[in-house]
């Protein structure tokens, strides 16, 4: 065989191998990046869930509600109502301000329910504030509350990451065919 033809055949074979390797490599890298993103989102949800449970054991201080208002704009259609509470408290002589009522999503529903909840947080009213001893700027009014959706988010993230890690492993071991 002529050296030029041999070189062309080798180049064609190399090009084909590169395209196959390239598709597999791109698939593996994208799967791993997607798994990392989902893992980070799951980590955030898990951290919030753990803080929600831990907050029941945090030290308590007396704070004061600065303002409480019912706002329209939560929910899927943005036609539900939520309560926004601003409160202040002090720890070791330092003043802090927060709006976190609970670690879960909080109330988002009918206007009547939001108004009823806002009556619990009348401006000027003394409230019990649960303060994170490791970070006094992190506080909550309703401690220990964890939403079912928080558990669901963590579970779905975990299962998704496992699935996204299995796909590249199957591609690398040849059990999953990847091509352009």
Based on its alpha-carbon atoms, the radius of gyration of the chain, rounded to whole angstroms, reads 27
Q: Which range has the top average pLDDT, 8-17, 34-43, 82-91?
A: 82-91
| Contact call for residues 151 and 161 (beta carbons, < 8 A) | no
pLDDT of residue 66: 96
pLDDT averaged over the chain? Answer: 86
Helices (H) and strands (E) in the chain, counts: 3, 5
pLDDT of residue 16: 67
Q: How many residues appear in the chain?
A: 180
User: Over the stretch 100-111, which tens digit does the pLDDT of each residue have?
Assistant: 998 877 778 888
Reference 94, options 40, 57, 46, 131; nearest CA is 131
Higher-pLDDT residue of 145 and 99 is 99
């Amino acid at each position: 065989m002529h050296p030029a033809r041999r070189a062309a055949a080798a180049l064609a074979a190399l090009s084909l191998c590169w395209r196959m390797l390239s598709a597999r490599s791109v698939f593996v890298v994208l799967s791993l990046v997607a798994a990392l993103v989902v893992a980070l989102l799951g980590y955030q949800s898990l951290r919030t869930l753990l803080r929600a449970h831990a907050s029941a054991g945090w030290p308590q201080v007396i704070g004061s509600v600065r303002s409480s208002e019912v706002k329209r704009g939560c929910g899927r259609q943005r036609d539900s109502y939520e309560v926004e509470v601003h409160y202040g408290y002090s720890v070791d002589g330092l003043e802090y301000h927060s709006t976190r009522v609970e670690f879960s999503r909080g109330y988002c529903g009918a206007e009547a329910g939001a108004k009823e909840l806002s009556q619990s947080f009348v401006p000027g009213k003394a409230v019990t504030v649960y303060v994170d001893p490791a970070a006094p700027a992190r506080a909550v009014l309703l401690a220990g509350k964890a939403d079912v959706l928080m558990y669901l988010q963590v579970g779905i993230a975990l299962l998704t990451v496992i699935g996204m890690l299995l796909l590249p492993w199957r591609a690398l071991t040849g059990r999953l065919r990847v091509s352009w």
